[in-house]
């Protein structure tokens, strides 16, 4: 089927708007490898992955999918798929190894070459400045709980805008600051592995401040046509019942999971109930005059990462918990339905719920699905094929939910499938596969999975065919 045939195929029943952005997404530490080449120094994930017991099988991102050396091959794969956009992250310690001072030329050159290759392939580069790989030297100085880190991030943002502003038109400041703050400093399952509620809340605030200062730095160096964004992993939270206790549990998780970022960024304020909920942890005196105004720097779109919903009830969570101020009041329950290899429930309705909520709460703010996908136990069969019907079904359901949200008035501009490649899946190491391209990590051989071919057809059609 040619692209023209696909776009005129009468079986395409759910068409997306003209100009809808069809992309894939990756993160630097998860795919690049080359961890000690060309001036790159350790990030908190290099240190964390070398700490015994922190990452499954002792895996590290030293080689990962070797994208640093296979850039041309990977861009060719994207061109073959027909994606219009590619969302990648920049490794902060590759371009500014200590988190301070001048950039490393070879590090900048890698991202220049990536952007140039994408543009030559007709693919729009979308750069994320921070996807969790804080330079270790900045963590040693206090990390995200330390206010100075926000200012170092703004300096880094300006460096990257100066270096790539002529090639990259869309910039995201932070990816999933909730994970960086609460998994990194709250329950410690992510780097840097600290378990301190106060540190987690301080980190969340300083990430908001970093976003605002970084957005301002980008605006100061980029052309006026450039887009500046932020990506949040907002939680689709459902109360188990309509009892007061269960509803309060959902409110608490919404406060520390969602509104801790939405309110400062879009309204220049802290949620009052969050401040009350966390009073036993902090009085929030680390929030200085002008911080919330800085965090509310205008952005052009909001990125949404969604995988599954959460069901909560009154009770208590295991300790240490990432839910600062809520752990003694909330318990999480398994959601019904099929599950992925991550043991995450498959529920596309949660994505529709988030998009329509944001339609109502943030009118006029364009939305982009910056991550959505699923891990399954994929393998190459004897003929070399990788069949992943569960992933195809997952993606179809979630794209249908996006289409339904569009029909319901949500301003959704694009969809970035997570992920292009099988990769280093953080604390799970190489045991979980999210890619639509299978990677044999022993040989680095890339193989298109059935889901990749399916996605290529969706892009060519401009929508979903009948199942």
Using DSSP, state whether 190 is helix, strand or coil.
coil
Residues 6+ apart with CB under 8 A from 44: 132, 133, 134, 135, 136, 139, 143, 184, 191, 192
* Backbone φ, ψ for residue 159 (5° rounding): -60, -45
Residues 6+ apart with CB under 8 A from 27: 88, 89, 128, 131, 132, 175, 423
Which residues form the catalytic set?
176, 371
The total of other beta-carbon atoms located within 10 Å of residue 409's CB is 11
Residues in a beta bridge with 304: 232, 369
Burial of 173 (C-beta count, 10 Å sphere; 0-12/13-18/19+) = buried
Q: Tell me the C-alpha distance between 4 and 418, whole Å.
A: 26
**Helices and strands (H and E) in the chain: how many:** 17, 15
464 in Cβ contact with 14 (< 8 Å):
yes
State the CB neighbour count (10 A cutoff) for residue 293: 12
Contact assessment for residue 122 and residue 179, using Cβ atoms and an 8 Å cutoff: no
- Give me the sign of the Cα torsion angle 142, 143, 147, 152: positive
* Alpha carbons 456 and 371: distance in angstroms, whole number: 17
């Amino acid at each position: 089927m040619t692209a023209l045939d696909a776009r005129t195929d009468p079986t395409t029943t759910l068409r997306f708007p003209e100009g809808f952005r069809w992309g894939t997404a990756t993160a630097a530490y998860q795919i690049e490898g080359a961890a000690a080449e060309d001036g790159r120094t350790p990030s908190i994930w290099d240190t964390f992955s070398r700490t015994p017991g922190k990452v499954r099988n002792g895996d590290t991102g030293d080689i990962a999918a070797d994208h640093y050396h296979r850039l041309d091959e990977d861009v060719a794969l994207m061109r073959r798929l027909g994606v219009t956009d590619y969302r990648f992250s920049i490794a902060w310690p590759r371009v500014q190894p200590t988190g301070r001072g001048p950039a490393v030329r070879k590090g900048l050159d890698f991202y220049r070459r990536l952007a140039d290759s994408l543009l030559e392939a007709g693919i729009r580069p979308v750069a994320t400045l921070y996807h969790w790989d804080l330079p270790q030297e900045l963590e040693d100085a206090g990390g995200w709980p330390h206010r100075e880190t926000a200012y170092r991030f703004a300096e880094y943002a300006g460096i990257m805008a100066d270096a790539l502003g002529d090639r990259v038109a869309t910039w995201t400041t932070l990816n999933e600051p909730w994970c960086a703050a609460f998994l990194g400093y709250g329950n410690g399952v992510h780097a840097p592995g600290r378990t301190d509620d106060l540190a987690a809340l301080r980190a969340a605030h300083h990430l908001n401040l970093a976003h605002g200062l970084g957005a301002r730095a980008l605006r100061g160096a980029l052309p006026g046509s450039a887009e500046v964004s932020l990506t949040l992993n907002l939680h689709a939270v459902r109360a188990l019942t309509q009892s007061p206790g269960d509803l309060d549990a959902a409110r608490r998780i919404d406060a520390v999971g969602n509104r801790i970022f939405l309110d400062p960024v879009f309204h220049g304020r802290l949620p009052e109930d969050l401040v009350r909920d966390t009073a036993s942890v902090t009085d929030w005196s680390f929030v200085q005059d002008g911080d919330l105004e800085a965090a509310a720097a205008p952005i052009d779109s909001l990125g949404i990462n969604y995988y599954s919903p959460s069901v909560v009830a009154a009770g208590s969570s295991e300790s240490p918990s990432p839910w600062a101020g809520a752990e003694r009041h909330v318990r999480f329950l398994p959601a019904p339905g099929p599950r992925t290899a991550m043991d995450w429930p498959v529920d596309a309705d949660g994505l529709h719920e988030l998009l329509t909520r944001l339609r109502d709460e943030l009118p006029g703010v364009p939305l982009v699905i910056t991550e959505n996908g699923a891990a399954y136990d994929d393998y190459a069969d004897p003929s070399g094929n990788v069949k992943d019907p569960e992933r195809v079904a997952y993606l179809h359901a979630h794209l249908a939910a996006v289409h339904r949200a569009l029909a319901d008035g949500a301003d959704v501009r694009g969809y970035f499938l997570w992920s292009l490649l099988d990769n280093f899946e953080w604390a799970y190491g190489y045991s979980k596969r999210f890619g639509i391209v299978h990677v044999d990590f022993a040989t680095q051989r890339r193989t298109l999975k059935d889901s990749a071919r399916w996605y290529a057809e969706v892009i060519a059609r401009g929508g979903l065919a009948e199942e």
